[in-house]
C-alpha cells in the first residue's frame, strides 16, 4: 500500500494533517496510546496533579501571611477521576476514533509498531507500506536501569494511576521528572526519598538556581545525593534498595526518573538510510530533513530539548516544508524557555552564567529577590529570585532564570526580549510594568544590571 505521506507518532505529529494536505493520502502510525507522551503521561496530566499540590503548599504555608488554615483531606481517587476519566482518556480515545472515522477519509490509522525495511518503506505489523514523504515523530521512553528490571517499579507512565497515595515513595533520579513528582507526592502526603548519582539536583541549571533549589529540596525530601543503587529487591509489599554506601531504603513504591531513551532504536533506521547520533537522536538539518531523501523528523525524536512547545513549533515548520519544498523555512530554536513545575517552581531561558562566561563576553548579572518588590513583600516571600545575565557592552540579554511563585509565567518577558533582540535597558525602561504586580521582579532585575557602554538612543529616563 502506498501513501503520499506517512506520519509515525501521534504526539505533535498528529497535528500535521490539515486542510492544506487533505488531498493527500496519509498514513498515521501509533503503537502506543494515541496522542503521545504530553497529553497522556507527560505535560498535561502531571500539571493537573501539580496544581492541587501547589494549592496544598499554599494552605500549609498560609500562616506566614497571618492566615491559619489546614488541609483536611485529599481525595486521590476523585483527583484521578477528574484528570483521567473526565479529561485525558476521552481526549486520547476521541483522537483515535476521529482518525479512524469518516471525518478524515484520506487518513488510515495503523495501531501497530513500524520499522524500516527499505528506503521510504515500512513494515507495519504484517503489512508493508511505502510513502513519498515520511515524518518521524516517535519521541522517547523512560530509561530503566538493569538493576531494577524485574523488580516492581513505576515510571511517569504508571505512577499517576496508582490505586492510592503511597505512604513512602523513593524516586531514582534528580532531573525534572524526579523533582516534579517529588513535589506532587510529598504534598499529597508521601514521605519522599530521592536517590541521585549527582551531588546536586537539577545540576544542569544555572548554579545560583541549583544552590537555592537544593536548599529548599533538602527541607522537603530525604535526599541521598552522590549515591547509586547497587541492588533492588521486592520484600512482600515493599521495595528494598541498597545504595553504594550500604544504606538500605525500604519504601512502598519506587519511581524511576533517570532520563529517557530515543525510540529510534525501534525503527531499524539503518534500513531506511536515516542517520542517528550516539544517543540515538535522529539527525536533521536546519529544515527538519533527515539523511534519507523524503524522510523528516521532529520533536523529541530529533532535538535535545524534550519540550512540547518545541515539538509543536517543529511540527508547523516540517508541515510547511513538506507542502512548500521551494520555500523552506528553518527550525526555530532561539530563546527556548523551559519550566520545572516543582516546589518552588523554576523557569529558564538562554545561557547559564557559566555558559555566558565561557563566551568571553563582558557580563553584567543581577539577582533580584522576590521579597524586595511589593507583591513579593505581600507574599512574605523569602525564597524566590529572578536572575538575568546580559552583555555589559551591547545590552543583549543572554540568559534568565527564575525560581519561585509562577516562575514559568514570569520567564516570558525575558523570552520576548531575547527573541526580538531588545536591549535590556530599552526593555526595562521604555514600557510600563504594572505596579505592584509580581512582574516588577523582572523589571527590577533588568534595572539592576550595570553596563559599560552608553545608553542606547531613545532610552526613556
Catalytic residue selected from 2, 324, 333, 435: 435
Cis ω for the linkage preceding 344 (within 30 of 0): yes
Q: What local confidence, expressed as pLDDT, does residue 99 receive?
A: 97
Q: What local confidence, expressed as pLDDT, does residue 137 receive?
A: 98
DSSP string, 133-196: EEEE---EEE---GGGTTS--B-TTTGGG-SS--SEEEEE--SHHHHHHHHHHHHTT-EEEEEE
pLDDT tens, residue by residue, 9-63? 999 999 999 998 999 999 999 999 999 999 999 999 999 999 999 999 999 999 9
Mean of the per-residue pLDDT values of the chain:
98
Mean pLDDT across 280-301:
98
Mean pLDDT across 277-298:
98
Q: What local confidence, expressed as pLDDT, does residue 262 receive?
A: 98
Q: What local confidence, expressed as pLDDT, does residue 195 receive?
A: 98
Are 306 and 299 spatial neighbours (Cβ–Cβ below 8 Å)?
no
pLDDT tens, residue by residue, 374-411? 999 999 999 999 999 999 999 999 999 999 999 999 99
Mean pLDDT across 273-297:
98
pLDDT tens, residue by residue, 61-71? 999 999 999 99
Q: What local confidence, expressed as pLDDT, does residue 180 receive?
A: 98
pLDDT tens, residue by residue, 309-357? 999 999 999 999 999 999 999 999 999 999 999 999 999 999 999 999 9
Q: What local confidence, expressed as pLDDT, does residue 105 receive?
A: 95
Active site residue 435: yes
Are 4 and 27 spatial neighbours (Cβ–Cβ below 8 Å)?
no
What are φ and ψ of residue 254, in 5° steps? Answer: -125, 130
Percentage of the chain beyond pLDDT 70 is 100
Amino acid at each position: 500500500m502506498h501513501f503520499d505521506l506517512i506520519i509515525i507518532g501521534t504526539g505533535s505529529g498528529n497535528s500535521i494533517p490539515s486542510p492544506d494536505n487533505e488531498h493527500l493520502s496519509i498514513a498515521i502510525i501509533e503503537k502506543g496510546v494515541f496522542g503521545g507522551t504530553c497529553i497522556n503521561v507527560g505535560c498535561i496530566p502531571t500539571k493537573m496533579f501539580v496544581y492541587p499540590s501547589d494549592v496544598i503548599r499554599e494552605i500549609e504555608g498560609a500562616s506566614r501571611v497571618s492566615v491559619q488554615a489546614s488541609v483536611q483531606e485529599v481525595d486521590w481517587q476523585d483527583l484521578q477521576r477528574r484528570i483521567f476519566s473526565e479529561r485525558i482518556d476521552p481526549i486520547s480515545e476521541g483522537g483515535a476514533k476521529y482518525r479512524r472515522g469518516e471525518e478524515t477519509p484520506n487518513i488510515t490509522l495503523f495501531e501497530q509498531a513500524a520499522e524500516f525495511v527499505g528506503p521510504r518503506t515500512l513494515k507495519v505489523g504484517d503489512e508493508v507500506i511505502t510513502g513519498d514523504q515520511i515524518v518521524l515523530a516517535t519521541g522517547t521512553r523512560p530509561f530503566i536501569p538493569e538493576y531494577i528490571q524485574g523488580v516492581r517499579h513505576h515510571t511517569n507512565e504508571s505512577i499517576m494511576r496508582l490505586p492510592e497515595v503511597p505512604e513512602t515513595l523513593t524516586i531514582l533520579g534528580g532531573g525534572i521528572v524526579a523533582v516534579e513528582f517529588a513535589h506532587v507526592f510529598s504534598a499529597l502526603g508521601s514521605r519522599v526519598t530521592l536517590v541521585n548519582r549527582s551531588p546536586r539536583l537539577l545540576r544542569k541549571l544555572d548554579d545560583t538556581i541549583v544552590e537555592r533549589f537544593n536548599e529548599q529540596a533538602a527541607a522537603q525530601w530525604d535526599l541521598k545525593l552522590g549515591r547509586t543503587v547497587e541492588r533492588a529487591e521486592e520484600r512482600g509489599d515493599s521495595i528494598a534498595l541498597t545504595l553504594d554506601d550500604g544504606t538500605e531504603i525500604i519504601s512502598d513504591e519506587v519511581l524511576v526518573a533517570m532520563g529517557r531513551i530515543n525510540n529510534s532504536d525501534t525503527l531499524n533506521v539503518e534500513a531506511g538510510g536515516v542517520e542517528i547520533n550516539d544517543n540515538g537522536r535522529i539527525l536533521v538539518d536546519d529544515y527538519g530533513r533527515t539523511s534519507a531523501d523524503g524522510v523528516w523528523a521532529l520533536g523529541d525524536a530529533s532535538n535535545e530539548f524534550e519540550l512540547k512547545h518545541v515539538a509543536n513549533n517543529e511540527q508547523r515548520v516540517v508541515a510547511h516544508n513538506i507542502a512548500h519544498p521551494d520555500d523552506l523555512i528553518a527550525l526555530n530554536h532561539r530563546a527556548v524557555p523551559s519550566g520545572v513545575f516543582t516546589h518552588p517552581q523554576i523557569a529558564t531561558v538562554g545561557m547559564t552564567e557559566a555558559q555566558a562566561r565561557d563566551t568571553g563576553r563582558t557580563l553584567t548579572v543581577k539577582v533580584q529577590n522576590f521579597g524586595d518588590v511589593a507583591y513579593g513583600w505581600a507574599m512574605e516571600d523569602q525564597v524566590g529570585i529572578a536572575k538575568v545575565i546580559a552583555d555589559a557592552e551591547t545590552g543583549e540579554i543572554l540568559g534568565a532564570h527564575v525560581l519561585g511563585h509562577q516562575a514559568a509565567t514570569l520567564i516570558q518577558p525575558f523570552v520576548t526580549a531575547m527573541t526580538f533582540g531588545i536591549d535590556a535597558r530599552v526593555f526595562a525602561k521604555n514600557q510600563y510594568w504594572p505596579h505592584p504586580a509580581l512582574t516588577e521582579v523582572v523589571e527590577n532585575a533588568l534595572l539592576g544590571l550595570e553596563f559599560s557602554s552608553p545608553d542606547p538612543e531613545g532610552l526613556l529616563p
